[in-house]
Structure 1
């Protein structure tokens, strides 16, 4: 089992991810995406929320993953109770210096996908209305989305040679940030077998190689920064030349 991806050659990365991605396709730029790592502390252990992707997916079929997906730029126009913490927003914008609206859209997509895939609404109980059908559950349940509890913990760009490529930002939040849990779960069938797992157990589950690497980083950070204070170091993974490398931003 490959414990970490940083330092692997491109050939080694392709082998490590051979069950996670459909290879091939034309050269393409990675699309913005976001995922949310929900954390819960019980009895001195940190648990994470994960769900299994259906086998029909070309992207990480059958793997346990965090809720997440492609960023929708229109999410930047959705009103929130509180915006990203300034230190988180600054980190999210670096090193490519994306706009504030794009940073908000990335964070909001993680919140929206967590609702759609897991039925968990991040925010506060307050009047909320929107014309966007993607945020209907928030309006119907009187939950105003909020971003101030989110923490930016990692970034990874899918290597070339895959049929899909994403520039994924990994955000984290605590279970206490969930204002509402839908009784029937999420509105999509993207994930099944949604479970809370101790981080150590999650790292032994059927998860993508990059997810295992990021969980390893997260466990280390929680050991030294158990509250996940905003503005902490963010590992950034990408293929540079013939080597998959880790940079701290």
Structure 2
């Protein structure tokens, strides 16, 4: 075992699967993304502007989809043993909790599900997550030595896929403050984590039609940071 591997094994923070949702608006005119500011006392990335997202919960794996995941997303997400459905469901749930925005499709099956904690309000709307609406666009693992570490998958959705008013954040919980649609040409003026800046650069390339094929992967699972494409 190398020295770097030993440090990873001794890192007190386990790596948890997580999902982040990038909601894009006005892509053909002046692209904007939905972001909010984490509280100053948050244990992870305090006071930073981020996309909605969070860790996968056990119950996320039990939520059915109105439409299945795209085949390309499913194959890339499943590589390495991850539960693709749980990851994407977690993104839908976190978006609902942190912004009050509904991502999904009406489905009669929602009424027959005994809703687990975290999903009760969402399922009560009569919707189920829509795998067709979500595109897997980025993956990043939090570096060692941080108080919390995540293996985060980022999903891109268009605001047209929302089942609620894109400007109505009244149902949001209090984890993110100052929720707003930020133009891509202004977002650099906000205080963001480094990885969010990297993701935004990739998003800008995608919007402008100059993105490299594949899903970028910022791998910090060890002390040596690696960047590759899946």
State TM-score, norm by structure 2: 0.86
The yes-or-no answer on 1:245 pairing with 2:195 is: no
Partner of 2:62 in structure 1?
77
The yes-or-no answer on 1:177 pairing with 2:161 is: yes
State the 1:241 CA deviation: 6.1
The yes-or-no answer on 1:114 pairing with 2:99 is: no
Determine which of 127, 131, 154 is the counterpart of 1:143.
Answer: 127
- Residue 220 of structure 2 aligns to a residue whose secondary structure is strand
Question: Structure 2 CA distance, aligned partners of 1:156 and 1:240?
Answer: 9
The alignment's C-alpha RMSD in Å is 2.2
Question: Structure 1 CA distance, aligned partners of 2:204 and 2:12?
Answer: 34
- Could you say if the C-alpha distance between residues 184 and 174 of structure 1 is closer, same or farther in structure 2, counting changes exceeding 3 Å? closer
State TM-score, norm by structure 1: 0.80
The yes-or-no answer on 1:63 pairing with 2:44 is: no
The yes-or-no answer on 1:161 pairing with 2:145 is: yes
State the 1:245 CA deviation: 2.4
Determine which of 30, 49, 54 is the counterpart of 2:34.
Answer: 49
The yes-or-no answer on 1:234 pairing with 2:221 is: no
Q: Comparing both structures, which one devotes a greater share of its residues to strand?
A: 1
Q: Deviations over 1:161-210 (max 9, x none)?
A: 11111111111101011012495634421001100011221233111111
State the 1:143 CA deviation: 2.0
The yes-or-no answer on 1:31 pairing with 2:31 is: no
2:138–2:217 contact (8 Å) kept in structure 1: yes
State the 1:91 CA deviation: 1.3
Alignment coverage as a number of residue pairs: 217
Question: Structure 2 CA distance, aligned partners of 1:184 and 1:173?
Answer: 17
Partner of 2:198 in structure 1?
213
Question: Structure 1 CA distance, aligned partners of 2:89 and 2:165?
Answer: 18
- Could you say if the C-alpha distance between residues 108 and 194 of structure 1 is closer, same or farther in structure 2, counting changes exceeding 3 Å? same
- Could you say if the C-alpha distance between residues 201 and 243 of structure 1 is closer, same or farther in structure 2, counting changes exceeding 3 Å? farther
Instruction: Name structure 2 gaps, 5 residues minimum.
Output: 1-9
Question: Structure 1 CA distance, aligned partners of 2:46 and 2:67?
Answer: 35
Partner of 2:116 in structure 1?
132
- Could you say if the C-alpha distance between residues 138 and 203 of structure 1 is closer, same or farther in structure 2, counting changes exceeding 3 Å? same
- Could you say if the C-alpha distance between residues 55 and 217 of structure 1 is closer, same or farther in structure 2, counting changes exceeding 3 Å? same
State the 1:144 CA deviation: 2.4
Instruction: Name structure 1 gaps, 5 residues minimum.
Output: 1-24, 227-231
Question: Structure 2 CA distance, aligned partners of 1:240 and 1:80?
Answer: 31
Task: Name the stretch that deviates more: 239-248 or 59-68.
Answer: 239-248
Q: Deviations over 1:11-33 (max 9, x none)?
A: xxxxxxxxxxxxxx943331101
Question: Structure 1 CA distance, aligned partners of 2:169 and 2:26?
Answer: 24
State the 1:225 CA deviation: 6.8
